[in-house]
Structure 1
Amino acid sequence: MIISTPATSANLGPGFDTLGLALNLRNEVEIEFSNVEKIEIYGENAEYLKKLPNNMFVNIFSEVYEKLTGHKPICSYKFNNKIPISRGLGSSSALISAAITAAYEMGEIPYKKDKILNYALTYEHHPDNITPAILGGFCVAKVKKNRVYFLKKFIPNSIKAVVVIPNKTISTNYSRGTLKEFYALNDVVTNISSSSMITAAFFSEKFELLRNVVEDKIHQESRMKAVPELFKVREIALREGALMSTLSGSGSTYFNLVYKDDAYNVFSALKSYFPEFNVKILNFDNLGVKVYK
């Protein structure tokens, strides 16, 4: 059995801990029952992950499987990772979503994706990454009383993502530590109105609106100081025609939404200025976590 889960870009600027979308950059894990546990890791950050004393996927999968079935699983695992870690592309949410889905599948227990989503709150308390990781598309989500309330919108193929992945990491915990405890009312209103307009633009597919409404006063500027080159990334992307340009999650990746016909121009300009960074043109993912048997 293979579990495939997409990368995600969360916050989308002003939609802090609320907005997110899925990108067609996937991690896969092949899992089957075995007499002896075996773990193979390939792809992004493989050498680093091999050295860790514990495998987060195996731990979560085993814990959930045992709770569901009453038995401890012994399996072989083969990971093929394309999502870089600590880059703001939802690698942890992809792992959590895949592990819980695998537990239900291997335990042959019927489920719907909203059950996986709510279970994932046990391990990831913010819904902006886990919701699109599981459901795909553009998602707006809110947690209330340990339940995720969400709406999903299919993303058309008329738009693409151009992501800039720096050769530097930003720790999510460190990044949250740079945020203020209190914010001015005007700044809060700016974020509420901007995130509302982003949601409206996606659901109505009036993406041209995004050029004028994406503004964040809560987190981006302080987080971007950890990788100052990101300010130039945003400047170039918007100059070359990006509809919006925002920090992906807590960074360090920068997300740029573009019309399909503008994708190569934005990509070329960014790659030319930042040859040391990994710049990719990505399609959006509308399926979320997938299972192949």
Structure 2
Amino acid sequence: MSDARDIRGLRLSLPATSANLGPGFDTVGLALSMRLTIDARAAAAFQIEATGRDAALCGALEHNLILDTYRDVLQRVGGRELPLHLKLHNEIPLGMGCGSSAAALLAGVALADHFGVLHLGDEEIVAEASRREGHPDNVAACWYGGFTVSAQDGELVKTASFGVEVDKTGGWELLLAIQPTSLATKQARALLPESYSKADAIFNVQRAALLVAAFAQGRLELLKTAMQDRMHQPYRAEACPLLERLLPLMEEPEVAGVALSGAGPSVLVFLAEGTTVLEAETRIQGLVGPNVELLPLRIGVGVERTLL
């Protein structure tokens, strides 16, 4: 058996993600330019050095989603559990609808794959993390980057990805509005109804199809219609007050689209062509007040893996 020191370290860089984007509930995801970066090496005991957002939470050894996933994956396959030293830098807000759990789950599975020498492929890693997440939208976007469309079929996850390097959407500018308090995904899902009317189902199917076309063709002007939703945003609005304040911006020429980011409570704003970030920040800050953080973003690339 190889000594732990024989296994090279691994650097992982995973993006934040925004799922749903209006009508694409549990289906579409978008990688964002904020990232979680981890330098992992085999060690004598588990240790985490964390910097960035929510460093205290990210650096805790107990109830740590990355380490818990790493251990669980290896235990399930009977693999060797090497203690790890993680040097972690986090830019992703936790509990804000920005895919922090998807990034952590994928990190845990990828670390188990590398240090357990499991030889998992991309599809297996995404499927494993999706099963743990309960839906594939954030997971697929985090791993593959750009804009993704995913469907879970039993144990399989089928994904189509529109990478930012091969389409016209890489230059689209975004603003993420983050309120001071978080919202648990489980709580946000509990707000949704068990069934929908035929009219609402048709409304969302039309707009979800148009949303895919808008990203595939790089047509920013389609988002005003393509990001409309009747399946989750209306039911989550009370728990996500920023949505009610910012959704009317869809009617203004300076804004291309507005949507709840994931399950909320953050709101993602797509800027129209010709609108500067400063102009948008000034307009939005006037609507939401000084306690709301505004982050300028772009569409992000997927996971990056480098041997150390």
- Verify same fold: TM over 0.5: yes
Tell me which amino acid in the other structure corresponds to 2:38.
V
Q: Which residue of 1 aligns with 2:290?
A: 275
Task: Report how far residue 68 of structure 1 moved.
Answer: 5.2
Tell me which amino acid in the other structure corresponds to 1:43.
G
CA distance in 2, matches of 1:119, 1:63: 11
User: Residues 187-198 of structure 1 correspond to what in structure 2 (within 5 A)?
Assistant: 187-198=200-211
Tell me which amino acid in the other structure corresponds to 1:178.
L
Change (3 A) 1:113 1:51: closer
Change (3 A) 1:53 1:109: closer
Aligned residues, how many? 292
Residue of 130, 153, 165 corresponding to 2:178: 165
User: Residues 58-207 of structure 1 correspond to what in structure 2 (within 5 A)?
Assistant: 58-67=67-76, 70-155=79-164, 156-207=169-220
Q: TM-score with structure 1 length normalisation?
A: 0.93
Q: Which residue of 2 aligns with 1:214?
A: 227
Task: Report how far residue 145 of structure 1 moved.
Answer: 1.6
Cα deviation code 1:207-250 (max 9, x no counterpart): 21222333211110121211323211222465252211000011
CA distance in 2, matches of 1:163, 1:283: 10
CA distance in 2, matches of 1:50, 1:105: 21
Sequence identity, in percent? 27
Tell me which amino acid in the other structure corresponds to 1:250.
A
Task: Report how far residue 18 of structure 1 moved.
Answer: 0.4
Change (3 A) 1:192 1:237: closer
Q: Which residue of 2 aligns with 1:255?
A: 268
Task: Report how far residue 149 of structure 1 moved.
Answer: 0.9
Contact 1:238 1:245 in 2 (8 A): no
Task: Report how far residue 52 of structure 1 moved.
Answer: 7.1
Gaps of 5+ in 1: none
Q: Which residue of 1 aligns with 2:280?
A: 266
Which deviates the most, 255-264 or 129-138?
255-264
RMSD: 1.9
Change (3 A) 1:263 1:225: farther
Secondary structure of 1:17's aligned partner:
strand
Tell me which amino acid in the other structure corresponds to 1:131.
A
Q: Which runs of 4+ in 1 moved over 6 A?
A: none
Residue of 6, 16, 20 corresponding to 1:11: 20
Task: Report how far residue 110 of structure 1 moved.
Answer: 3.7
Gaps of 5+ in 2: 1-9
Q: Which residue of 2 aligns with 1:30?
A: 39
